[in-house]
Amino acid sequence: MPEEKEITIYDIARLLNISPTTVSRGLKDHPTINIKTRKKIAEVARQLGYRSNTFASSLRSKRTQTLGVIVPRLNSSFMSSVLAGMENAASKEGYNLIIAQSLEQADKEMENVMTMFNKRVDGLLVSLAHSSENVRHFDVFFNKKIPVIFFDRVASHPDSTSIIIDNFTAAYQVTRHLIMQGHKRIMHLGGNMLLNVYSERLRGYKQALQDHKLHFDEKLVMSGNLTEECGTDIAIQLLKLKPKDRPEAVFCANDTAAVYCMIALRNAGVNIPEDIAFAGFNNDPISRVIEPNLTTVNYPGYNMGQAAVAGLASHLNGDTNITNMNTIVLRSELIIRASSGKRK
Amino acid sequence: MPEEKEITIYDIARLLNISPTTVSRGLKDHPTINIKTRKKIAEVARQLGYRSNTFASSLRSKRTQTLGVIVPRLNSSFMSSVLAGMENAASKEGYNLIIAQSLEQADKEMENVMTMFNKRVDGLLVSLAHSSENVRHFDVFFNKKIPVIFFDRVASHPDSTSIIIDNFTAAYQVTRHLIMQGHKRIMHLGGNMLLNVYSERLRGYKQALQDHKLHFDEKLVMSGNLTEECGTDIAIQLLKLKPKDRPEAVFCANDTAAVYCMIALRNAGVNIPEDIAFAGFNNDPISRVIEPNLTTVNYPGYNMGQAAVAGLASHLNGDTNITNMNTIVLRSELIIRASSGKRK
């Protein structure tokens, strides 16, 4: 590639026959510089392809106006909403986002953390990988007091803030709704129970059963990676049972597993909700396309992304001290649709 | 926020009682430094929270190992696949991704371009906004010979490379398939015809009609923003027509509009494909959940993201000169499902 000489304020100054100081002030819209001169400077800067010297100014201010985002996977409906919300807030606050995915692997997450650290991000936004058993790899950030915000899949740490929904209450509401519809033998399909989101949903399910004097049967709790294949596998297992031995309702910890379980059951002639009722979690687009539409929990991914970046920006600007906040809980909402219909 | 002193190689040198030069070489795994000393240096660097001086080394190399990504919207199923593919390739090639969304607005896109320019990204990956009428705002990049790759929604420019699928042929294949199923009055619902993706799909549809001696009727071509609401609106318009005046098949330029059009028609008692057949574009998850499953085109978003970053990295490493490549066309594939079934 051809090397091009970088345009400096000296080039602009020479061309306009003014001092470099005037150019520098003009580019920063300094009020001591005549507005006509400021316009002329901006015009010449644009023509020459001048780039403000972010590196040098970063070295001075120790700030890069960049936030790091580490997520398990970029290609999920939930995560794409989160990212859209984050970008929206970052753009308003004058920050750029650097993104990386851990692919659910702890060692990839550790690598990502070091990359973000060496990139000198001003703050970090993280949803933890499945296989991350602790958060010691974030110590480089904690030690330097660079703020870290965990969202969705979080870990408790004295120096970080977590943004979550109340997974316990949301799952409690789903289970109570299924009970109110007349279902008694309710199965729960959960995810990796080492992650807060799934262990809390299981806890909400159990509590609802207990509060409604229903027996908790361990055999009715299964867990998996909640993919399309996982949903289909569960359907195959249910179909192996005699109809009278099958659960009356299934509460899945995400919509993907619920929807593909429903499709496989429906293809085998099982009626939903008459034979088995269903509820999911997330309110993904597929939950409104599956027939019957899936009862689910609206998980406000876009709002979560916005709140995380706005909180971080406000902390970095010195407006609020986010390290005083242990946890921020966003509202979620039970959405009742046809899949959880009344038992006859 | 408390200011922390940045750890330098001088701090590490003092602590280990060795020279700063030795530390610097040790951190770069220089063979002249004893392996035991290198380990000791790495250990102390980790303990103190030393960050390699990316800024200074960027100033020297004029490279930031950062690529800019500008997309219309982050929260779409297609774009999240593209991003996942980009991140995968970037991570392998040692690049970071900075992302921004134009929200389909040309002026926001211009702002994004200037931000990426000032951030000194080594290259830019762009899918154009609806309202971008030209690509003059990329001139700052072209003038400095910083590579720009357009993907999906592209514009032709002598200094940039485009990565696309063959939208003309894909649309031709969809239309021919509908014709082969016995459908004659085929409607096309397209997007913004200023964008290559939609104008090429319209052209493919027209060509297939002509090659099969079917009359092209302008009244059977509609366009919109292809959202959920757009699909529902089209259904309402179709329902206003007498059944015999309705098209026999609808080819939508994306899956979202097709699926929500199908849902509204189905709710009004229209049978698919018996009364109206459907085909979409993209192979989004919803296309496999809608009943009947939607015939569509598999758009390889993940592969497109990977190819774009791999091509850019190879160019930046000097291995290939991507500016010699005008266009890279990826394979797409017609996926036939029940929604386009045979006319009785």
In the prediction, which pLDDT does B1 show? 39
Cβ atoms of residues A142 and A159 within 8 Å = yes
Could you confirm whether domain B9-52 is CATH 1.10.260.40?
Answer: yes
Please indicate whether, in this complex, the C-beta atoms of A75 and B97 are within 8 angstroms of each other.
Answer: no
Nearest-by-Cβ selection for B74 from A4, A83, A100: A83
Q: Which of B187, B231, B227, B232 is nearest to B206 (CA)?
A: B187
Bridge pairing between strands B327-330 and B161-165:
parallel
The encoded tokens of residue B130 equal: 């609806």
Query: What ipTM was predicted for this assembly?
Result: 0.84
Which residues, listed in sequence order, are joined to residue B228 by a DSSP beta bridge? none
The encoded tokens of residue B269 equal: 């008692």
Quick: pLDDT tens for B281-306: 999 999 999 999 999 999 999 999 99
- Put residue A316 in one of left, alpha, beta given phi > 0 → left and psi -120 to 50 → alpha: alpha
CA dist A292 and A341 (Å) reads 10
How many residues in total does chain B contain? 344
In the prediction, which pLDDT does B324 show? 80
Please indicate whether, in this complex, the C-beta atoms of B74 and A87 are within 8 angstroms of each other.
Answer: yes
- For the B167-300+334-340 domain, the top CATH level (class) is alpha beta
pLDDT at B20 over 90: no
Angle (nearest 5°) at CA B223 between B222 and B228: 110
pLDDT at B199 over 90: yes
Amino acid at A78: F
> What is the architecture of the domain spanning A65-166+301-331?
3-Layer(aba) Sandwich (3.40)
**Residue A211 distance to chain B (closest CA, Å):** 35
DSSP string for residues in B41-102: HHHHHHHHT----HHHHHHHHS---EEEEEES-SSSHHHHHHHHHHHHHHHHHT-EEEEEE-
Q: Which chain A residue shows the shortest CA-CA distance from B71?
A: A84
Which residues, listed in sequence order, are joined to residue B47 by a DSSP beta bridge? none
Please indicate whether, in this complex, the C-beta atoms of A285 and B286 are within 8 angstroms of each other.
Answer: yes
CA dist B197 and B193 (Å) reads 8
Q: Which of A321, A314, A282, A279 is nearest to A298 (CA)?
A: A282
In the prediction, which pLDDT does A197 show? 95
Q: Which chain A residue shows the shortest CA-CA distance from B147?
A: A1
CA dist B135 and B126 (Å) reads 11
DSSP H or E run through A252? strand A249-252
Measured from the Cβ of residue B143, the count of other Cβ atoms closer than 10 Å reads: 13
Cβ atoms of residues B113 and B160 within 8 Å = no
CA A259 from chain centre, in angstroms, equals 21
The encoded tokens of residue A174 equal: 């789903």
DSSP string for residues in A30-69: -TTS-HHHHHHHHHHHHHHT----HHHHHHHHS---EEEE
Q: Which chain B residue shows the shortest CA-CA distance from A144?
A: B4
Nearest-by-Cβ selection for A80 from B59, B80, B286: B80
Instruction: Give the mean pLDDT of B95-105.
Output: 95
DSSP H or E run through B296? strand B296-298
Question: Cβ contacts (< 8 Å) between A118 and chain B: which residues?
Answer: 51-52, 54
Q: Which chain B residue shows the shortest CA-CA distance from A78?
A: B75
CA dist A277 and A12 (Å) reads 71
The encoded tokens of residue A139 equal: 């110590």
Please indicate whether, in this complex, the C-beta atoms of A96 and B96 are within 8 angstroms of each other.
Answer: no
The encoded tokens of residue B318 equal: 């000097």
Angle (nearest 5°) at CA A24 between A18 and A26: 75
Nearest-by-Cβ selection for B120 from A54, A99, A118: A54
**Where along chain B do its domains lie?**
9-52, 65-164+301-330, 167-300+334-340
Question: Cβ contacts (< 8 Å) between B97 and chain A: which residues?
Answer: 98-100
In the prediction, which pLDDT does B2 show? 43
Nearest-by-Cβ selection for B75 from A80, A99, A286: A80
The encoded tokens of residue B168 equal: 């003309």
- Put residue A315 in one of left, alpha, beta given phi > 0 → left and psi -120 to 50 → alpha: alpha
In the prediction, which pLDDT does A1 show? 39
Mean pLDDT, chain B, as a whole number?
92
Measured from the Cβ of residue A184, the count of other Cβ atoms closer than 10 Å reads: 14
Please indicate whether, in this complex, the C-beta atoms of A87 and B99 are within 8 angstroms of each other.
Answer: yes
Bridge pairing between strands B333-335 and B296-298:
antiparallel
Minimum mean pLDDT among A34-43, A221-230, B179-188, B216-225: which range?
A34-43
Quick: pLDDT tens for B25-35: 888 778 888 88
Please indicate whether, in this complex, the C-beta atoms of B96 and A81 are within 8 angstroms of each other.
Answer: no
The encoded tokens of residue A181 equal: 């519809």
Nearest-by-Cβ selection for B84 from A1, A75, A143: A75
Cβ atoms of residues A241 and A309 within 8 Å = no
Angle between helices B54-61 and A54-61 (to 10 degrees): 160
DSSP H or E run through B279? strand B277-279
Please indicate whether, in this complex, the C-beta atoms of A77 and B81 are within 8 angstroms of each other.
Answer: no
Please indicate whether, in this complex, the C-beta atoms of A4 and B59 are within 8 angstroms of each other.
Answer: no
**Residue B161 distance to chain A (closest CA, Å):** 16
Interface mutation target, options A44, A65, A119, A159, chain B, most CBs of B under 10 Å: A119
Minimum mean pLDDT among A154-158, A291-295, B247-251, B254-258: which range?
A154-158
Nearest-by-Cβ selection for B144 from A49, A118, A315: A49
Cβ atoms of residues B264 and B236 within 8 Å = yes
The answer to whether domain A65-166+301-331 and domain A167-299+334-340 are alike in fold is yes
**Residue B242 distance to chain A (closest CA, Å):** 27
Question: Cβ contacts (< 8 Å) between B115 and chain A: which residues?
Answer: 96
The encoded tokens of residue B187 equal: 């409607």
**Residue A245 distance to chain B (closest CA, Å):** 27
Bridge pairing between strands A96-101 and B96-101:
antiparallel
B4: confidence class by pLDDT, cuts 50, 70, 90: low
| Sign for the pseudo-dihedral over CA of A306, A312, A316, A322 | positive
Q: Which chain A residue shows the shortest CA-CA distance from B72?
A: A84
Assigned CATH topology for domain A167-299+334-340: Rossmann fold (3.40.50)
SS (HEC) of B236-274: HHHHHCCHHHCCCEEEECCHHHHHHHHHHHHHCCCCCCC
B175-192 exposure pattern, b = at least 16 Cβ within 10 A, e = fewer:
bbbbbebebeebbbbbbb
CA dist A226 and A26 (Å) reads 56
Cβ atoms of residues B186 and B251 within 8 Å = yes
The encoded tokens of residue B8 equal: 């330098």
Could you confirm whether domain B65-164+301-330 is CATH 3.40.50.2300?
Answer: yes
* Residue A49 buriedness (CB in 10 A; 0-12 / 13-18 / 19+): middle
Q: What is the pLDDT along chain A (344 residues), one digit of tens a residue?
A: 344 577 888 888 988 989 888 888 888 778 888 888 888 888 888 888 887 765 555 555 678 899 999 999 999 999 999 999 999 999 999 999 999 999 999 999 999 999 999 889 999 999 999 888 889 999 999 999 999 999 999 998 888 999 999 999 999 999 999 999 999 999 999 999 989 999 999 999 999 999 999 999 999 999 999 999 999 999 999 999 999 999 999 999 999 999 999 999 999 999 999 999 999 999 999 999 999 999 999 999 999 999 999 999 999 988 888 878 889 999 999 999 999 998 76
Please indicate whether, in this complex, the C-beta atoms of A140 and B49 are within 8 angstroms of each other.
Answer: yes
pLDDT at B112 over 60: yes
**Residue B66 distance to chain A (closest CA, Å):** 9
Please indicate whether, in this complex, the C-beta atoms of B83 and A66 are within 8 angstroms of each other.
Answer: no
Quick: pLDDT tens for B51-86: 776 555 555 567 889 999 999 999 999 999 999 999
CA dist B221 and B189 (Å) reads 6
| Count of pairs with CB atoms under 8 A, one residue in A, one in B | 129
Question: Cβ contacts (< 8 Å) between A140 and chain B: which residues?
Answer: 46, 49
Cis before B158 (ω within 30): no
**Residue A6 distance to chain B (closest CA, Å):** 9
Cβ atoms of residues B278 and B295 within 8 Å = yes
